[in-house]
Amino acid sequence: MKTVSLKLFAVAVFAFGLSTAPSRAADVEKLLPAETEQVFQVNIKQILESDLVKKYALAQIKQALAGNEAQKSLQALGLDPLKDIDSFTGGVWGEDPKDLKGVIVVRGKFDAEKLFEAAKVAAKKDGDKVAIVTEGDYTLVKVTFENRPEPIYLTVADDKTVLVATDKKLVVSAMKAADDKAAKPQMKKDLIALIEQMDGKASVFACGVSTGKVGEIPPNPLFDDVEKLKKQLEKLKSSAFTLRVTTDVAIEVIMSMKDGDAAEDFGGTVDELLGKAKAFLPFIAMQNANMKPIIGDVTKSLKSKVDKNDVKMTVKLTGDSIGKAAGTDD
């Protein structure tokens, strides 16, 4: 996909650090279609159970969910998001970042009857936004958004799986794969291999195999030579992003290039960009004093290095800095 390298690279410039937590190879989601180019996974349960979230965010999350409207909606769905959602894994593809195609697989504990009943009630109340539709033997919920030209479709595959997709045929294909216990992953072999290298215990990961095509790079004060950067990104083979939330927040970004020379060349550009980013960060601190602890962490730990064909970027935010920035630190 044209935009993946730029998206992950932008994340790398302002990202958060590498954790030493033990890793486990990520599972390959068999319900994602063959068209998938980029995969992401969010481990909701792990994030909610992390020391950092328990200390600084869990109380606020519970308070928000306890609001009258939120509570009524969740009760109608038979859903407790703090207990019932384990993770969601998505696969996306497409040339236009504003019109990506994709499938999301939500894992957890679900009450299909309550979910469909809630959808029927919503369809009667807001028929222009929610509708119950059928495709073959399957019942789907069609949801239309004001800011999105095309609707999305969702359904319950079983009491542990909800499927969401940008096209009803994609939902049906995922349903058929869910029904087939012997089904195997349909994604391309190089993408499957990349997923298997990801940390399945991470809070969030995203990865994708590059097509070698790079879209237009918008003007940016960090990029002195846009054409040079574009040529470097054309030699990108794959990108991988990992975020871990424990007592701290940590992110690692790995850009795998076609060869060592390409990695060295791109690594030089990354060093230059990170240097400019560090120089810019104090101006943010001047505008927002609460950000000073976080900016201090980023300035100290934001690093990059070239390792064979890979350009790796890491940075780390400590829990203490996050607490101070949030104004909730003891």
Domain boundary among 179, 213, 246: 179
Write out pLDDT tens, residues 33-91: 999 999 999 999 999 999 999 999 999 999 888 876 767 677 777 888 899 999 999 99
Predicted confidence at residue 16, as pLDDT, reads: 37
Does 209 lie in the same domain as 160?
Answer: no
Q: With 60 as the cut, is the pLDDT of residue 1 above it? A: no
Domain limit, last residue, from 135, 161, 179: 179
Supply the range of the domain harboring residue 248. Answer: 189-326
Express as a percent the part of the chain with pLDDT over 70.
91
Residue 193 sits in the same domain as residue 173 = no
- Do both 170 and 119 map to the same domain? yes
Three state DSSP letters for the chain: CCCHHHHHHHHHHCCCCCCCCCCCECCCCCCCCCCCCEEEEECHHHHHHCHHHHHHCHHHHHHHHCCHHHHHHHHHHCCCHHHHEEEEEEEEECCCCCCCEEEEEEEECCCHHHHHHHHHHHHHHCCCCEEEEEECCEEEEEECCCCCCCCEEEEEEECCEEEEECCHHHHHHHHHHHHCCCCCCCCCHHHHHHHCCCECCCCEEEEEECCCCCCCCCCCCCCCCHHHHHHHHCCEEEEEEEEEECCCEEEEEEEEECCHHHHHHHHHHHHHHHHHHHHHHHHHHHHCHHHHHHHHHHHHHCEEEEECCEEEEEEEECHHHHHHHHCCCC
Q: Is residue 55 part of a domain?
A: no
- Regarding whether 247 and 149 lie in a shared domain, the answer is no
Same domain, 230 and 171: no
Shared domain for 212 and 266, answered yes or no, is: yes
Tell me: pLDDT of 173 over 50: yes
If asked whether residues 99 and 205 sit together in one domain, one would say no
- 254-301 pLDDT tens trace: 999 999 999 999 999 999 999 999 998 988 888 888 899 999 999 999
Q: Are residues 199 and 322 located together in one domain of the fold? A: yes
pLDDT digits (tens, 9 = 90+) for 143-162: 998 877 789 999 999 999 99
Number of domains in the chain: 2
- Look at residue 261 in the predicted model and tell me its pLDDT: 98
19 pLDDT above the threshold of 60:
no
Task: Note the pLDDT of residue 327.
Answer: 75
Q: Give yes or no: residues 281 and 233 share one domain.
A: yes
